[in-house]
Amino acid sequence: EKDGHDWFMRKEIFEQPRAVADSLLGRRGVDGRLQLDEMRLSDQELRDITKIIIIACGTSFYAGMVAKYAIEHWCRIPVEVELASEFRYRDPILDYSTLVVAISQSGETADTLQAIRHARTQRSKVLAICNTNGSTIPRESDAVIYTHAGPEIGVASTKGFLTQLVACYLLALYLAQVKGTRFGDEIDQVLGQLEAMPEQIEKVLALAPDVYALAREHVQSRSVLFLGRHAGYPVALEGALKLKELAYLHAEGFAAGELKHGPIALVEEGLPVLCVVPPRGRDQLHDKMLSGIQEVRARGARTLCLAEEGDEQVAPYADELIRLPRVPVLLQPLVAVVPLQLFACELATALGYDVDQPRNLAKSVTVE
Ligand code: F6R
């Protein structure tokens, strides 16, 4: 049942190319344009949206952070991302022109469910991104984008996360198509890049032995930091969460630009810092990230860098370097998170912990 793997989690990590491919299946109409069959909101309803609030918990919240970058960039609609447990208790501003997007793998998370119930009392439309057919959250939503990860057994979300990212990109592209904020050609191009992702993820999975070796070198670590920028920031947060929940290690993710505003004080000799390096582009993201890496390294950190193929600038500052395929910055989370999942899984295994059933955690959190 685990296909020869020791853990469901490991099996599910390796299923990700298939899960991503399945979540992209059937999304193009005969004319090649993007279609979402469970959308159920009319084009006019979507054009009337002036604000989007994404609500979710845990890993699903990090998918929502990536969605914010994608939706604001492609659709020019303001997006807030909020933890479901905070949302309902702060008297949020909602009305009929607000679209609430609830992201939940299980579709049963109590905090998220209560949040959408509240949103609906305020006449907001609710769209669910969910992996579980017929679960409560999609049943109580106006529209659904189902992910097709298949059942996720490991308590730590892996393929659930990647397919949520896919659904978020599809939603962003669909809104851009309906609102006309992007040309069809560009939407088509990004869809093509998404369709090439399963192959890119396979390339990252082929590096598993290197990542495992790296993880085993860190069994003695007491603390691990994760740095990212832009879409790599939620990846850093997700990498840290995986390590906390599986290896019971102190792990924290930061936006690299925040280092000098406090976290750099944590850096001491030998501290492992995992750095998600953005692709080289026209913006200054990549170079800014490099200076962050230099700063922590100058203070004794051991830098473990994930950087795209061909990025030679990072090499002198990387104590360890894992190569990612070259993909656009917004899509990079789909490849960058995979080594972090493998790292946490292997480190927890080496420490002798139960990766599929971490202590104190439940797969679906049905109490608030
Ligand atoms: C982390 C993890 C949790 C869930 C969170 C939300 O690996 O699995 O943080 O992401 O409990 O669950 P769903 O997506 O089912 O609402």
Q: Where are the alpha helices (DSSP H) in 248-315?
A: 285-298
For ligand 1, atom 11, the nearest C-alpha belongs to: 58
Task: Give the pLDDT of residue 50.
Answer: 96
User: β-strand 302-308 against 223-228: which pairing, if any?
Assistant: unpaired
In the block, tokens 């492609």 appear at: 74
Instruction: Output the six-digit token pair for 322.
Output: 């894992």
Confidence of residue 283 (pLDDT cuts 50, 70, 90): confident
Question: Which pLDDT tens digit goes with each residue over 231-272?
Answer: 999 999 999 999 999 999 999 999 999 999 999 999 999 999
Position 4 pLDDT exceeds 90: yes
Measured in angstroms, how far is the CA atom of residue 31 from the centroid of ligand 1? 36
* pLDDT mean over 305-324: 97
The encoded tokens of residue 27 equal: 């999304």
Q: How far apart are alpha carbons 97 and 86 in whole angstroms?
A: 21
61 Cα: distance to centroid of ligand 1 (angstroms): 8
pLDDT digits (tens, 9 = 90+) for 197-243: 999 999 999 999 999 999 999 999 999 999 999 999 999 999 999 99
Contact, 340 vs 227, CB < 8 A?
no
Distances (CA, A) of 223 to 14, 220, 248, 250, 334: 27, 9, 10, 5, 25
Distance separating alpha carbons of residues 109 and 176, to the nearest angstrom: 29
* Average pLDDT of the segment spanning 4-10: 94
Atom of ligand 1 nearest to the CA of 112: 16
Task: Return the higher-pLDDT residue of 220 and 365.
Answer: 220
Which residue from 65, 163, 164, 365 has its CB within 8 A of the most atoms of ligand 1, so it is best to mutate? 365
Neighbour-count burial of 237, counting CB atoms closer than 10 A to its CB (0-12 exposed, 13-18 middle, 19+ buried): buried
Ligand 1 atom with the shortest distance to the CA of 364: 15
pLDDT of residue 282 exceeding 80: no
Q: Percent of the chain at pLDDT above 90?
A: 91
For residue 159, the CA-to-ligand 1 centroid distance in Å is 12
Atom number of ligand 1 nearest to Cα 242: 7
Q: How far is the CA of 341 from the centre of ligand 1 (A)?
A: 14
Q: Which of 55, 81, 157 to mutate to test the pocket of ligand 1 (most atoms within 8 A of CB)?
A: 157
The helix (run of H) or strand (run of E) holding residue 65 is helix 58-75
Contact 259, 286 (CB under 8 A): no
Tokens for 148, please give them: 């097709």
Protein residue with least CA distance to atom 9, ligand 1: 58
Number of the ligand 1 atom closest to the C-alpha atom of 363: 8
- The residues lining ligand 1, judged by C-beta closer than 6 Å to any ligand atom, are 57-60, 104-106, 109, 112, 156-157, 241, 245, 364-365
- The minimum-distance atom of ligand 1 relative to the CA of 155 is 8
Cβ-contact 34, 177 below 8 angstroms = yes
Q: What is the pTM of this model?
A: 0.97
Q: Whose CA is nearest to atom 7 of ligand 1?
A: 156
CA 59 to ligand 1 center in whole angstroms = 5
User: Exposure string (b/e) for 129-163, b if CB count within 10 Å is 16 or more?
Assistant: bbbbeebbbbeebbbbbbbbbeebebbbbbbbbbb
Half-sphere exposure of 178 (CA within 13 A, CB side): 20
Ligand 1 centre from 107 Cα, in Å?
A: 10
Q: Which residue has the least CA distance to atom 16 on ligand 1?
A: 104
- 279 CA distance to ligand 1 centroid (A)? 28
Ligand 1: nearest atom to the Cα of 161: 10
The set of catalytic residues is 363
**42-78, pLDDT tens digit by residue?**
999 999 999 999 999 999 999 999 999 999 999 999 9
pLDDT, tens digit, 9 for 90 and up, residues 105-135: 999 999 999 999 999 999 999 999 999 999 9
Select from 59, 103, 141, 145 the residue to mutate for testing ligand 1; criterion: most ligand atoms less than 8 Å from CB: 59
Q: How far apart are the first and last CA of the chain?
A: 32
Q: What is the dihedral of CA 144, 147, 153, 157, to 10 degrees?
A: -100
Compute the distance between CA of residue 167 and CA of residue 172 in angstroms, rounded to an integer: 9
